Structure 1
Amino acid sequence: MAQPLLVTGAVPLNPAQAPNRIEINQFILNEVHFSLFVQALDGIYSDAQGSLTSFFQLAGIHGLPYVQWNQSGGSNVVANSAWPGYCMHGTTLFPTWHRPFVALFEQVIQQRAATIAQTYVPAWQQAYMTGAASLRLPYWDWAANIMPPDAIIASTTVTIRKPDGFTHSVPNPFLAYTFNPGPPPASWGFYAPYSLWTTTLRHPSDDTATATSRIVELRSSLLAERAFVRTNTYNTLTTVNDWADFSNHTANPLQAPPLANSLETIHDTIHGTIGGTVGTLGDMSDPSVAAFDPIFWLHHANVDRMLSLWSALHPNVWVSPGTTYVWGSSWTLPQNAPIDATTDLTPFWRTATTYWKSSDLDGVDSAPLGYTYPEFNGLDLNNMPALTIAIKAKVDALYGPTVPITAVLSPAPTKGLAPPKTLKRKTSKVTLANGHFSLTDDAPAGAPGVPQGDSSNTSASSRPTIVSQGGRFFLSVSGSGRDSSPSGNANQAAVPHAAWTDWTAHVRVEKFALNGSFTVFFFLGNGTDPVSASVPADPREWHTAPSFAGTYFVFANGARQRCGNCVAQADAHQLVEGFVHLNTNKQELAGMSVAQGKRFLREHLTWRVAHPTRHPVRSGDIPSLSVTVGATPMWAGPADTVPARGQVQWFPEVTEGHTF
């Protein structure tokens, strides 16, 4: 048997100086890198589908057509493994499995680019050979720049410099992948509409063979999710401390929810936003075909970057021991097998006889796979305390939360009530009833940022507003004619802190409740009309409705019968979970007391479910869906660069009995 292809990553010229992956908005400005990447991507598009390193084969590792890749599986299958497939969605291996997967794609692209560079005319050859050596997969930082450049989502052609030394306008390979020689046949497991389409599509116009991508709708969805993605990303990076909570979207029904979304949950949102959440779903919205859309690779490069950032903020936290429980069977992993840092990340060979394992990887140091990220430039990876401080400052600057327009006033904290530096998840006092959970570990009365009682008589004009100057928060009280910035008040000890409440909807639902991907849309009424009036009759208008308050996207395989992990998860009624921050599109909530907020949300919060083939979806169609509202106290002083968070309180009574 021939030696399998080894995953080395793109090997740098100097192993001590691995090149950066670059954010896509900067990447497209580098003519050498962009020209090489476009040609390399087009080259692997054109390779025969049977070629091991063709785009079709590389994308197929993630899902359909569920065939053996690179001598992994088939005759090498572990005994009792019941179903095919490699991908580890919904498990603690989700982030680490994707790291060598993305590195493999980068490796193939870089090697093809190096070959192309050698064909340039002498006047350009050296520049392009040097550029090929440092070429790495660009990442799309959707938390900072959710709208990709036109060269990725809109332009039908791009301009590059080809080997003859002249610039040419060429078809844009980032826009879509064209199956070669035609639509993938149903005999390979592809199902309608994907078996009908010659190319990958985003927000497809319909489910016919002549469907086209809808760029206007794609842009609209991205803009609608922009603030939510930024907020979720920051909260995940800074408040989730446990690997199980960080790594994947699976919920434990016997535990309270984590403090924020998992990395996989945010990843799911981006998949749905690109592929579409209403009507016919594009390729990115279904795990079985998502990797065929070229933007998948830019997206997952950023998912990997988030793994590096989180690891820097949470040193010594890595893949925790666990079990696949009922789910987890794959072509090389048997059902009920334990998974941990030593589990093989198949089908990615590290040597001729061993696979990559999570224990071979380092969350912060990605240089062994041939790349780094700009945030780590110039930092000593061996000085973890200093590294954590430096990365925290960069994360704050990139994604730190904006402060709500209105806020209620709270006394400056005393020493005994100082904001905790690390928030621990509490699970000892959890009660479940009617599908809802509640916590009794509430913040103490009088804690900073916890409004006491019903302040319905508080005048809005007397509430302070928070302004940001130079990255710092300051209070400005309407009508007082003064502010609490350092220039306006020398006595900082007497300056009151701003306090407000972050209202959150927590969602739990069976992943395969509707046999494929679906979306929970949240709406907040205007306070006067019936809450039902806030929801447009046409789901295509939900993202742009004035009442839109966020989404939770369930990324579920539509070809689950071909995926062992998916079949097992469905049979086990696996629950997934996530959060929607209701303040994001309704900032008035921030200044309400707990009593006011509960009453407002009870009367004006509603939700609907969007599914590609079922409309309308009623609450009785999806009985596993549970929504619980929570309130987290927040506060900031004049010298704070980001707000502090208190202990969340959950109020199942706000949503109890809600139907749609």
Structure 2
Amino acid sequence: MSAINYPVVGAPKPSPAPVDGSVPLRIEIRQLQQNADQWNLYLLGLDAFKKMDEKSDLSYYGVCGIHGRPYRPWGGVAGHNNVQAGWQGYCTHSSILFGPWHRPYLALFEQLLYGIVHDIAGQFPAETKARYQAAASTFRIPYWDWAAIPDSGDYFPNAVGGSTTVSVITPKSNGQAVSMPNPLYSTTFHPLNPVQGDFAPLGRTPYNQWPTTLRYPSSSRSLNATSEEDQVFDAMATQFAGLQQNINILMNDPNYKDFSAFSNHLWVPDSVGTEASLEDVHNSIHGAVGGFMGHMSELDYSAFDPVFWLHHCNVDRLFAIWQALNPTSYTIRERTQDGNFVTQAGSVETSSTPLTPFVDASGSKYWTSEGVRRTETFNYAYPETRRWAFTSESVYENSVANAVQQLYGGLSNQFSGEEAFNLMSVRPTDAATAPAIEEKVETAHSTSTSNASGHANGAASGPAQKPVADTSAGFHPFHNLVEKVKGAVPGLDPKPEHQTQRGGLDLEKEIGKPAAPVPEQPRSYTEYIVNIKAPKHLLGQSYRVHIFLGEFDSDIRTWNTQDALVGTFAVFGKETAPGSDDETKCGKCKDDAEKNTIITGTVPLTAQIIGEVKKGHCGSLEKSNVLPYLKDNLHWRVTLADGTEKNRDEVPGLVVSVVSTEVALPEGNRPKYSGVYMVHPEVTAGRPAGLGAGAETTPGA
């Protein structure tokens, strides 16, 4: 192998190491805010990390560059594939190695940031040094769980996008809080565009002239563009229901017990029931946070946005949770259609394929998927994956399954347990006889609500914060009645109304006198899903497929955030045509395009359909009502990277279809997916990019 400079070992265990074999936990960012000392050190450390010399491989810029730009070798690791064409990086998208490769990548980031945090802790005055050093000893990078309902109501963390400044205590501030730029808000390039010969590391305009990372740039062309952070908050809240249900499906549907199905979005023929993937959901978050032309929306630049690390930490966590639920299914052997800087296209990727450029603790070998199987190898775990705390594998697996249901079972929870009586009112056999449930809604668009999770020691605050939902008053429509009766955990229906607050409900008025008898609990329901199949590089750039249910605004700039949006399928394509002004240096992408790599994704519809039933737009959740409704009201549109619309007829190979699968609710309230999917070609047939009349219509698994 080539030069071996930087073994990746993760942050060290506390000393002395715990006798139970436990390791420090990576925790959710809002939870980390509750630990004032660690939060303070995190902000100081991240700020210092980002100020390191960009020429160093161990700088923030150098580590982020592994993922894409500036297209330079890292750690002396030379490649052998498509050297003449250049490469996007060592990153393994559209590959079974997607999850395993990012694990040592995150461990490297955590290892370096931990070292900085530890050094800063040692610089505090004697009277507080020991306290900060104790906090530093168990520091791990946080994750942002974008698929679980946040107690604070901020579907995009206010600490990340709520303010451009934060308050911190520094080693030299005499214990007093001082203000500094929020290191989670953006990254400033210094210098902006270090020229290397004729090569511009940050690529084409505007990226090579924007001084900072942006989310939802106010202009896709102006060099003075600014971030429109409100759109990130709106986009995450609008698309939340579908994102959460996608995770529930991936963790529960038997079709995703195979790692190749769960891990990545590469299309497999005759795979009607496996078109979802962790990578596909991951793509949606990139697009929802970055917006049109935002840095997170382009893989070449995404790692420079600080939220990338929070996002990918959660992706790694979901990967670890899946491993806990499927302990014998981590099998890696797949022929890759594309390659990267060091992997030849068409080669077989296995558990021993090198995860370059990450060198293991020996200093002489690269990490492999088998080597990174356990997070404890890098001295961390997640709240759900504390294996050492359980007496047996079965008890541990049961605990993880319970956690998945609690965090991501919002939809299935509506069809079971104490909430069943409420759900039956939106699942009638005759819509005309369905009891109506009225809600008193008090809008809060003109009200500024403080961040419920803000803290003096570093929590972002200020007028840019989004209003947060009053979860105590019943944040979700179905949850209102149930919470007043039984104090149940909030469900999810139809998707969060992130700019409304609800006052108390008069149950007598809501239900009527006398109260209706509780109907028999439904024991199953139908899950409706949009499947999307698309060529990755056909359009020569990134593009998106927006899925709407019902009427939607024609203003394209609202498409990421408006209420009718169910979800977005993001495709990270590149221009591969020789001689083009935007021709990529990515050899991996050129291989992709040459082989016409096809990727897939899904957008669950059921939560949104429930909302349409409640509004009286759809008669019930039965297929006899839902399928005709979808035929008339399901819409999809395509946008390019800069937000302009692309005619759907001009995207050959794009196919949008609707499928359904049955979900049983046995005792214990965990959904049991049938694994059998029925295709409904009549819903999209005859429209641009709809499923053709000659497509397969038999049930598939």
Q: TM-score range by the shorter chain?
A: 0.7 to 0.9
| Inter-CA distance 481–188: structure 2 relative to 1 (3 Å threshold) | closer
- The 3-state SS of whatever aligns with 1:648 is strand
- The 3-state SS of whatever aligns with 1:608 is strand
Q: Does 1:399 align with 2:408?
A: yes
Residue of structure 1 equivalent to 2:451: none
How high is the TM-score relative to the length of structure 1? 0.82
1:269 & 1:521 partners in 2: Cα distance? 11
Deviations 1:179-229, CA, capped at 9 Å, x for gaps: 012245562251222112110000111122111000111111111111111
Q: Which has the higher strand share?
A: 1
Contact 2:232 2:288 in 1 (8 A): yes
Identity of aligned residues (%): 29
2:344 & 2:604 partners in 1: Cα distance? 38
Residue of structure 2 equivalent to 1:521: 546
The equivalences for 1:138-149 within 5 A come to 138-144=142-148, 145=150, 147-149=155-157
**Offset of 1:79 from its aligned partner?**
9.7
| Inter-CA distance 592–116: structure 2 relative to 1 (3 Å threshold) | closer
**Offset of 1:81 from its aligned partner?**
9.4
**Offset of 1:42 from its aligned partner?**
1.5
Residue of structure 2 equivalent to 1:238: 252
Query: Which residue of 284, 287, 290 corresponds with 1:275?
Result: 290
Deviations 1:329-362, CA, capped at 9 Å, x for gaps: x222223221110000000000221000011122
Query: Which residue of 547, 563, 587 corresponds with 1:564?
Result: 587
Q: Does 1:176 align with 2:186?
A: yes
Residue of structure 1 equivalent to 2:267: 251
| Inter-CA distance 152–79: structure 2 relative to 1 (3 Å threshold) | closer
Deviations 1:238-270, CA, capped at 9 Å, x for gaps: 222111111101111x22233462111111111
Q: Does 1:215 align with 2:229?
A: yes
Query: Which residue of 64, 67, 75 corresponds with 1:62?
Result: 67
Residue of structure 1 equivalent to 2:496: none
Instruction: Report which stretch shifted further, 508-517 or 202-211.
Output: 508-517
Q: Does 1:344 align with 2:369?
A: no
Letter in 1 for 2:372: L
1:38 & 1:66 partners in 2: Cα distance? 28
**Offset of 1:640 from its aligned partner?**
4.5
Q: Does 1:102 align with 2:106?
A: yes
Residue of structure 1 equivalent to 2:34: 29
Structure 1: give runs of 5+ residues left out of the alignment.
408-448, 450-454, 486-494, 526-533
Residue of structure 1 equivalent to 2:420: none
**Offset of 1:549 from its aligned partner?**
2.8
The equivalences for 1:120-139 within 5 A come to 120-139=124-143
Cα RMSD between the aligned structures? 3.0
Deviations 1:531-571, CA, capped at 9 Å, x for gaps: xxx23221122244443332222233567722222221121
Letter in 2 for 1:503: Y
| Inter-CA distance 13–549: structure 2 relative to 1 (3 Å threshold) | closer
Residue of structure 2 equivalent to 1:92: 96
Contact 1:221 1:543 in 2 (8 A): yes
The equivalences for 1:171-570 within 5 A come to 171-183=181-193, 187-188=200-201, 190-206=203-219, 207-239=221-253, 240-252=256-268, 254-259=269-274, 261-276=276-291, 280-325=292-337, 327-328=338-339, 330-350=340-360, 351-362=362-373, 365-377=374-386, 379-380=388-389, 383-403=392-412, 459-461=432-434, 470=488, 481=515, 483-484=517-518, 495=520, 497-525=522-550, 534-557=551-574, 561-570=584-593
2:3 & 2:86 partners in 1: Cα distance? 25
Contact 1:235 1:260 in 2 (8 A): no
Deviations 1:516-541, CA, capped at 9 Å, x for gaps: 2222112223xxxxxxxx23221122
- The 3-state SS of whatever aligns with 1:113 is helix
- The 3-state SS of whatever aligns with 2:319 is helix
Instruction: Report which stretch shifted further, 85-94 or 566-575.
Output: 566-575
- The 3-state SS of whatever aligns with 1:233 is helix
Deviations 1:582-640, CA, capped at 9 Å, x for gaps: 22222126934323322222222221112134733112211211011112233446x54
How high is the TM-score relative to the length of structure 2? 0.78
Q: Does 1:600 align with 2:614?
A: no
Residue of structure 1 equivalent to 2:169: 161
| Inter-CA distance 123–523: structure 2 relative to 1 (3 Å threshold) | same
| Inter-CA distance 600–291: structure 2 relative to 1 (3 Å threshold) | same
| Inter-CA distance 37–545: structure 2 relative to 1 (3 Å threshold) | closer
1:82 & 1:122 partners in 2: Cα distance? 55
Contact 1:88 1:565 in 2 (8 A): no
| Inter-CA distance 607–251: structure 2 relative to 1 (3 Å threshold) | same
2:294 & 2:281 partners in 1: Cα distance? 18
2:681 & 2:350 partners in 1: Cα distance? 35
| Inter-CA distance 377–507: structure 2 relative to 1 (3 Å threshold) | same
1:80 & 1:590 partners in 2: Cα distance? 59
| Inter-CA distance 456–306: structure 2 relative to 1 (3 Å threshold) | closer
Q: How many residues align?
A: 585
**Offset of 1:37 from its aligned partner?**
1.6
Instruction: Report which stretch shifted further, 376-385 or 289-298.
Output: 376-385
